[in-house]
A and B are shown apart, each in its own frame.
Chain A
Amino acid sequence: MSATTEAPKKSGGIRDLSKMFGNGSSTRQVGILGALIVIIILFQILTGGLTLDPINLINLVNQNAYVLILAIGMVMVIIAGHIDLSVGSVAAFTGIIVAISMQSWHFPPLLAIVFGLVVGTLIGMWQGFWVAYIGVPAFIVTLAGMLIFRGGNQFVGNSQSIPVPDSFAIIGNGFIPDFGPQFGFSNGTLILGLLVAVAVVWQEIRERQTQRKMGSESAPLWVSVVKVVILLAVVLYATYLFATGRPGTSYPVSGIILGVLVLLYSFITRNTTFGRHIYAVGGNWHAAELSGVNIRRINFLVMMNMSILAALAGMIAVGRSVASGPGDGVGWELDAIAAVFIGGAAVSGGIGTIVGSIVGGFVIAVLNNGLQLLGVGIDRVQIIKGLVLLLAVGIDVYSKKQGRPSIIGRFTRARRINESLDVPRVVPTLPEEETARPKSTTPN
């Protein structure tokens, strides 16, 4: 890097850096990820290091895994243009049935889990039927479901708590088992951490290969190296934290379930025809229908999937508290929905990502946790959570309406304009066509 070309190099560097997390569409996610990091650092300082203490971190994952699992299903529902208010009740209903199946009918835990998923599937088919084939708005169907399955839980369980065996509770309160020689670390968690580290490197290499195959300019190698180094540092530090918790604890089983689901559903939404069709239905269902998409089937499957995940989340929560009770899952739907919207989904459908929603979920989780560590009462925690939700979505809507790029998006924006100036006629950016869409990004 000679001194003479310093200026263009610099702007080039910023442009390349902005490519670190993919193209412009994901800038919102980068923004919310940045917010999460800021919040973590803030609480780390305010709580005098308690936030990133291994015990607290393990707790954080354990406490929030089920809401995050709900957020995975919820973002798909919201992308398709619906909403699901029933998830908390469905989770509670499944939880109590599963608990009863083990207590009264002596189902072994594995069978009970399968049974719970079947119950979730049936509930999902019920709700999906009303939404997709009868055409009742999901808001109504799931509001009804919220009442039906909450009542169902209390009816079936006589409004009592029903305990579950420890062998079942592993999915909610278990940890990666330890084995081998003892160094003061959890060996299972270390191996998991190493696997994730390898996956990060492999993923980046594959990403670059794909970019090359498409013939599109990929960011220079140093950007990839910086990105991988940062990610590896995060992964290894997290591994270290999780591996050095209280004896007998390590990375939670529920966290592993969550991780597997995030990978699975990210792949489904990004790389499969089913995933593409969800976005198509939410973005413009008329156009989707005229493109041969079976809209009813998509709506049905999305609603069904949500209830299956709700059933799973319910069972994990039951495992965590080693009992199923009448008040399980109250208000979960709101946490899941808030996570999805903080994570960048649009109320009107068609926009949203799994990863964004998970990050959004962690924002709420860390806020909850940090404020509690500081001794802030539940009353004020709720007020703060509400304001954060409003602020996050408000900033997004405002910046879209005004055509002002978000602070993070500013760099990508600058790059786009530079690129389009290379094209002889700047048709795409002219606002002539904008009259048709008052809500779109008309520059002010």
Chain B
Amino acid sequence: MTTEPIILEMRSITKEFPGVKALDRVSLTVKAGEIHSICGENGAGKSTLMKVLSGVYPYGTYEGDIIFQGSECRFKDIKSSEAAGIVIIHQELALIPELSITENIFLGNEPRGRFGNIDWVVAKKTAIELLARVGLADDPDTQIKNLGVGKQQLVEIAKALHKSVKLLILDEPTAALNEADSQHLLDLILGLKGRGIASIMISHKLNEIEKISDEITIIRDGKSIETLNIQADGVNEDRIIRGMVGRTLENRFPDRNSKIGEVFFEVKNWTVQHPLTAERMVVKNSSFSVRRGEVVGFAGLMGAGRTELAMSIFGRSYGTFISGQVFMNGKEIQLRNVAEAIENGLAYVSEDRKALGLNLLDDIKESVVSAKLSKISRGQVIDKVKEHNIAEEYRKSLRIKTPTVQEGVNKLSGGNQQKVVLAKWMFTDPDLLILDEPTRGIDVGAKTEIYGIIRDLAAQGKGVIMISSELPELLGVSDRILTIFEGAITNDIPASEADPETLMRSMTSSKKKVTQP
């Protein structure tokens, strides 16, 4: 056990919302210069705890004490917590896309010249220094909108460094990053640790947590369950999961119970151009097929063209169609728009359920039927009794946790929202379901349920394409895995013969067909 001094102590924090106790006497102790992770299912109270700490919920709206660097703190807003040296970086980055890196770093904190004007010379010089510290080589005049998410994350950290941060809070920092960017970010956090900056990290990616944390506090149902020391307690992923769900997930992946039939869906020589940049092909001459009852995994890094491939097939929802054919049951079909794609038995569950998958103003029943209203209407008139009963059926069969199907979808947790989206597409009776990152941002328990649903769909004889950034999930659920690199399919291997190393190799090089010995 380290004997580092304690930098932060949160004592018996209780936070109530009308009717709900979000935090119930939660305690958290962070030592100076350590990386402390907070784990818990969605809805466990992690974000609420961080909002209490950063002053989003001001002093007086919660019970308990916050002691930071030896003195009790009563933050009344984010500004006062930042003044104390606590900076939170949210999952959704708070940068302004139209402004430059420098302007963003100094936003609200601009160095002043003699007449109260902004001293851009000083600002730019400082910005270059800060960018060097986070390992970002871009021109500080670059507009944020021209940076990838990974680099934007680094700008956020540079901004925090400028505020002379002592405790950095990162909420799901790697959720939107690819492997390489994630690695870079994690290295950076370790580097900050070397310079004495403590970090609190919230993440669903348990392997990352295991890799870089010193200690882990597990929160479940608004209560702090335990604090584990990675080295002393011999913590591994299974141990963390056990703490989070209160039980061991014996088997995170369901059995492959489906009978794989003949090929029914084929894509040949699919080529798609970037919507804005001509001559840039995001999908290059790709061909693949799906069999009945088969789950085909699509592996590839961010930006490899997985989503672009899927969306362009689904009624040309992305980019400019250049060439290619789609065959269903041996017959060529035309998928010129989404309506035709749905009509031909395709379904696409998008990777961003809030922006692309759901109308957050709808309630559950309206969402479930929204992709095929014709199924519950006579002529143009909707049969609301049918609508209700169908939504009720899905609520029960998919175990969507909600009192009624009249509940608004914006009130559901991520996992339950995802189940609603799945129900919406199952309702269209598709033959082929394309699931784009179906478990992104949802907790471990719900993930297992989603895997079960995917395997059930396959068992019913449907074809499933699953796009995922998580290799264990691809290996655990798919029957066959295709790898994509720079818009082209680079490998096609049965899941039983695949391993993470092989996949990663095909995902990062264009060498065709790594031959198996």
Verify B370–A291 contact, CB threshold 8 A: yes
- The 0/1 profile, CB within 8 Å of A marked 1, for residues 39-63 of chain B is 0001111111001000000000100
Interface status of A203 (Cβ within 8 A of chain B) = no
Interface residues of B (CB under 8 A from A): 17-20, 22, 42-48, 51, 61, 90-92, 171, 221, 314-315, 317, 337-339, 341-342, 348, 350, 354-363, 366, 370-374, 377, 380-382, 384-385, 388-389, 392, 401-404, 406-407, 410-414, 416, 424
Asked if A292 CB lies within 8 Å of chain B CBs, one says yes
**A372 at interface, CB cutoff 8 A:** no
Task: Please encode chain A, from 109 to 121, with 1 for each CB lying within 8 Å of some chain B CB and 0 for all others.
Answer: 0000000000000
In Å, the complex CA distance between A413 and B19 comes to 10
Whether B348 lies near A444 (C-beta < 8 A) is: no
Q: How close is B201's CB to chain A, nearest CB, in angstroms?
A: 15
Hey, which chain B residues are within 8 Å of A425, CB to CB? Answer: 221, 401
In the complex, A440 Cα to B411 Cα: how many Å?
A: 10
CB of B272, distance to nearest CB on chain A (Å): 17
A-B contact pairs, 19 of them (CB 8 A): A25-B363, A216-B406, A277-B373, A279-B359, A287-B355, A291-B371, A292-B315, A292-B339, A292-B341, A292-B372, A421-B19, A422-B403, A423-B403, A428-B402, A432-B43, A432-B48, A436-B92, A437-B354, A443-B17
Q: How far is the CA of A350 from the CA of B404 in the complex (A)?
A: 22
Q: Which of A255-263, A268-276, A357-365 contacts B (4 or more CB under 8 A)?
A: A268-276
Choose among A277, A427, A444 the residue that contacts B401 (Cβ–Cβ < 8 A). A427
Question: Whole-angstrom distance between the alpha carbons of A429 and B377 in the complex?
Answer: 32
Complex Cα spacing A443 to B361, Å: 18
Contact A440-B48, Cβ < 8 Å, known A214-B388, A276-B382, A432-B42: no
Contacts of B384 in A (CB 8 A): 210, 214, 271
Measured CB to CB, the residues of A under 8 A from B are 23, 25, 210, 213-216, 271-274, 276-277, 279-280, 283-284, 286-294, 350-351, 403, 413, 417, 419-423, 425-437, 440, 443-444
Are B381 and A280 touching (Cβ within 8 A)?
no
Nearest CB of chain B from residue A302's CB, rounded to whole Å: 15
Cβ–Cβ < 8 Å partners of A215 in chain B: 389, 392
| Contact partners of A284 in chain B: CB under 8 A | 355, 358-361
**Within the assembled complex, what's the spacing in Å between the Cα atoms of A270 and B435?**
31
Closest 8 CB pairs between A and B? A417-B19, A283-B359, A443-B17, A292-B339, A291-B371, A283-B361, A284-B359, A430-B43
By the criterion CB–CB under 8 Å, are A420 and B90 in contact? no
Inter-chain contacts of A426 with B (CB < 8 A): 20
Are A435 and B91 in touch, CB under 8 angstroms? yes
- Residue pair A427, B412 in contact (C-beta under 8 Å): yes
CB distance from A268 to the nearest CB of B (A): 8
Shortest Cβ distance from A212 into B: residue: B385
Since A272-B381, A429-B17, A431-B48 are in contact, a sample of 7 more A-B pairs with Cβ atoms closer than 8 Å, ordered by chain A residue number, is A214-B384, A276-B373, A283-B362, A288-B359, A423-B403, A431-B17, A435-B47
CA distance A426 to B407 in the complex (A): 13
Which residues of chain B are near A272, meaning CB under 8 Å?
377, 380-382
Known: A289-B317, A440-B410, A443-B17. A210 touches B385 (CB 8 A): yes
For B416, give its contact among A427, A429, A440 (CB under 8 Å).
A427
Chain B residues closer than 8 Å to A294, beta-carbon distance = 337, 339
Residue on B with the closest CB to A274?
B380
In the bound complex, CA of A443 to CA of B341 (Å):
41
How far, in angstroms, from A290 to B341 measured CA to CA in the complex?
10
The smallest C-beta distance from B320 to any residue of chain A, in angstroms, reads: 16
Given A213-B385, A216-B404, A290 contacting B19 (CB threshold 8 A): no
Q: Contact: B19 with A420, CB < 8 Å? A: yes
Distance, CA A406 to CA B93, complexed state (A): 32
Residue in A291, A351, A432, A436 whose beta carbon sits within 8 Å of that of B338 in the complex: A291
Give the nearest-CB partner of B61 in chain A: A444
The answer for the CA separation of A289 and B371 in the assembled complex, in Å, is 10
- For residue A289, which residues in chain B have a CB less than 8 angstroms away from its CB? 317, 338
A403-B19 Cα distance, complex, nearest whole Å: 13
Say whether B317 contacts A429, CB under 8 Å: no
Is the Cβ of B412 less than 8 Å from the Cβ of A428? yes
For the complex, what is the distance from the CA of A7 to the CA of B315, rounded to whole Å?
Answer: 58
Is there an interface contact between B20 and A430, defined as CB atoms closer than 8 Å? yes
Residues on A with C-beta less than 8 A from B385 are 210, 213-214
Complex Cα distance, B398 from A407, in Å, reads: 36
- List the A side residues contacting B411 at CB < 8 Å: 428-429
Say yes or no: A433 contacts B90, CB within 8 Å: no
For B389, the chain A residues whose CB sits under 8 A away are: 214-215
Residues of A within 8 A of B424 (CB): 291
* CB nearest to B342 among chain A residues: A292
Q: Are the C-beta atoms of B416 and A428 separated by less than 8 Å?
A: yes
Question: Nearest-CB distance from B447 to chain A (Å)?
Answer: 15
Closest to B358 in A: A287
User: B401 and A423: CB pair below 8 A?
Assistant: yes
From known contacts A272-B381, A290-B350, A291-B370, infer whether A428 and B358 are also in contact, taking CB-CB under 8 Å: no
CA distance A426 to B44 in the complex (A): 11
**Is B92 touching A276 in the complex (CB atoms < 8 A)?**
no
With both beta carbons as reference points, the residue of chain A lying nearest to B421 in the complex is identified as A287
Q: Which of A293, A350, A433 has the most CB of B within 10 A?
A: A433
A432 & B46 in contact (Cβ 8 Å cutoff): yes
A428 to B91: give the CA distance in the assembly, Å.
Answer: 20
Contacts of B90 in A (CB 8 A): 435
- Residue ID in chain B nearest A405 by CB atoms: B18
Contacting residues, chain A, for B414 (C-beta < 8 A) = 433
CA distance A272 to B341 in the complex (A): 23
Q: Are B371 and A283 in contact (CB under 8 A)?
A: no
Contacts of B171 on A, CB cut-off 8 Å? Answer: 435
By the criterion CB–CB under 8 Å, are A273 and B388 in contact? no
Q: When A287-B357, A290-B350, A292-B371 are in contact, do A432 and B366 touch as well, CB less than 8 Å?
A: no
A346's nearest neighbour on chain B, judged by CB, is B361
- Alpha-carbon gap, A50 to B413, bound state (A): 54
